[in-house]
Amino acid sequence: MSRSIRWRIGTPYILLIWVIMAVLGVYFTRLVQSIYLKDLENELISEVRLLRSILSAQFPADAQSDHLDQLAKDWAGELNKRVTIIAQDGTVLGESDFDRAQMDNHASRSEIIQASLSGIGIETRRSDTLGIPMMYVAASIRSTSGEIMGYVRIGMPTERIQNDLSLLQRTLIVVTILFSLTAGFLAIFIANRITHPIRQLAQAAAQMARGQLESRLIPTTQDEIGGLTIAFNEMAAELNAKIQALDAERGRIAAVLEVMSDGVLIIDEEGKVQLVNSAAESMFGVSHDEALGRSLIEVLRQHQITEVWEQCRRSGETQTTTVEISAHRLYLQCIATPLGPTLQGNTLLLFQNLTRLRRLETVRQDFISNISHELRTPLASLKALAETLQESAIDDPPAAKRFLQRMETELDALTQMVEELLELSRIESGRVPLKMSPTSPIRLISQAVERLALQAERARLEISIHCPNDLSPVLADERRLAQVIVNLLHNAIKFTPAGGRIELRAEHDGDHILFSVKDNGVGIPSEDLPRIFERFYKTDRARSSGGTGLGLAIARHLVEAHGGRIWVESLEGQGSTFSFSIPIAT
């Protein structure tokens, strides 16, 4: 409450009013007290003079009688005061409140001495006779010749005076308090009226601080506060418009950053991360909350990136480098750009994911290497056979026929390779239409086994089928999907030693049918597993076993064209299991 502006305005006025009223109360109390005492003295002087004028005419005759004593009592009853008549030598001749015979001589009383000198004597003191404080006014009684014949004195207890003064003081104090309270309440009321618009402004400002920018005030006065209210409303409207524009701009920037495939970080001049988008979070495996406010090296743990940022900060020029994140198998290009006057001292780090491009480049290089390798052998054989025929074998019909048969075999291998390449190209480009229809899994497996049964028998391999006849049909192109199983079974036969076992299985897997071809052959090295479905990719053991290296690539693309996925599990020397899943026909 003490911090409220209305109290800071009202309290000084209230204190000022109370101080002024207290000073005025004390002043008027003393003034009235002085006036009251002066009036009382004048009253007593008037009364004592009146008594003196009465006594002046009869004092000589009655000075020694009891009449003066009775007269003092009568006058005291009328005046409600003590009356004493004293002789010129100080003897008490008349007394209204005490036995005059027992009273001391009053010649030494101060008021009597003053009266003997100036005619009137005034004294306030404790009465020796009554033992209480009294105010005395005495007057000398003189003869016509001016000689003093005696004195008349009126006394009034000061207790009565103090009671009257106390009543007067209490009245003045009550009036002062009532007036001060009234003035204080008026001061508070006025201060409240003055500060009410200011409090409304403060509340509106607090609402704006909490984000409620629509708060507006209606001006209730035409003074400076009214002008301030109008200015506040204009400021609030302008601020609201600017904040909405900033929010819209920030939303657009945030949307762009979120959908960007490139990672973005903003680093301040102290090397602390100020912004990180979703792509960067995914690249480096950090969350937004973990990254903000932490150092670049602490967040990314890549000294090469930190060095690029430091070079950019020192030179003020764009720096570029490539970084390989082995933990996430990523190959990134990092571009560090100073933000200049826009954000002084800050640096933008842009991370472009070149992993796919690098992988494609690797695949391209491998493709060229593999196809060159695959073509070199048959072409070299054809060239050697042709040269042999040309030189000598043409004249030897049996040898010429044998060479021609070998040439035909090599040409068939080349033709198969070209056809499989064309087939794979058509599948990858989506130019092979699939004739989808509900197809029984057991039918697909049986067709593949029938086609390769003789080959498996020659290789002395045992093939077993585990597929319920009532298994749900899959939605597939029967001929194409059967080709997938044939390719997988052919690989299993080729890489399984004599006496081995091959197991074909189909079973439910949620809303898919899971097909698998399992053998106990030579297996696949773990480092080759990620690339086993690439074109022309062969393990070292496979290169001496013939084949084009396109069968698994064709199988992968056909399975994916059916909306499924294919994978392999293998341990070197313990065999392999190729599996793929196809959605159930609904």
361-403 residue pLDDT tens: 776 666 666 666 666 667 777 777 777 777 766 667 777 777 7
pLDDT score, position 373:
60
- β-bridge partners, 349: 265, 336
283-293 burial, b at 16+ Cβ within 10 Å, e below that, comes to bbebeeeebee
pLDDT score, position 1:
43
Is the CB of residue 44 less than 8 Å from the CB of residue 111?
A: no
pLDDT interval class at 9 (50, 70, 90) = low
- β-bridge partners, 351: 263, 334
Average pLDDT over residues 312-340: 83
- β-bridge partners, 193: none
User: What's the CA gap between 570 and 152, in Å, rounded?
Assistant: 145
pLDDT score, position 134:
83
pLDDT, tens only, 447-463 = 989 988 888 898 899 99
pLDDT score, position 321:
87
Q: Is the pLDDT of residue 432 over 70?
A: no
Is the CB of residue 304 less than 8 Å from the CB of residue 319?
A: no
More confident residue, 232 or 514: 514
User: What's the CA gap between 275 and 223, in Å, rounded?
Assistant: 48
Is the CB of residue 416 less than 8 Å from the CB of residue 391?
A: no
Q: Is the pLDDT of residue 320 over 60?
A: yes
pLDDT score, position 506:
94
Among all chains, which residue has been given the structure tokens 């030179």? Answer: 315
Among all chains, which residue has been given the structure tokens 């001049």? Answer: 269
pLDDT score, position 535:
67
- Give the other-Cβ count within 10 Å of 488's Cβ: 28
At residue 523, the 3 state secondary structure works out as coil
User: What's the CA gap between 541 and 495, in Å, rounded?
Assistant: 9
More confident residue, 434 or 539: 434
pLDDT score, position 138:
93
State if pTM tops 0.85: no
User: What's the CA gap between 37 and 430, in Å, rounded?
Assistant: 126
Q: In sequence order, what DSSP letters do the residues of 162-215 get, joined into one string?
A: HHHHHHHHHHHHHHHHHHHHHHHHHHHHHHHHHHHHHHHHHHHHHHHHTT-TT-
pLDDT score, position 41:
85
pLDDT, tens only, 266-316 = 888 888 888 888 888 888 888 888 888 888 888 888 888 888 888 888 888
Average pLDDT over residues 184-203: 74
Furthest-apart CA pair in the chain: how many Å? 207
- Give the other-Cβ count within 10 Å of 329's Cβ: 10
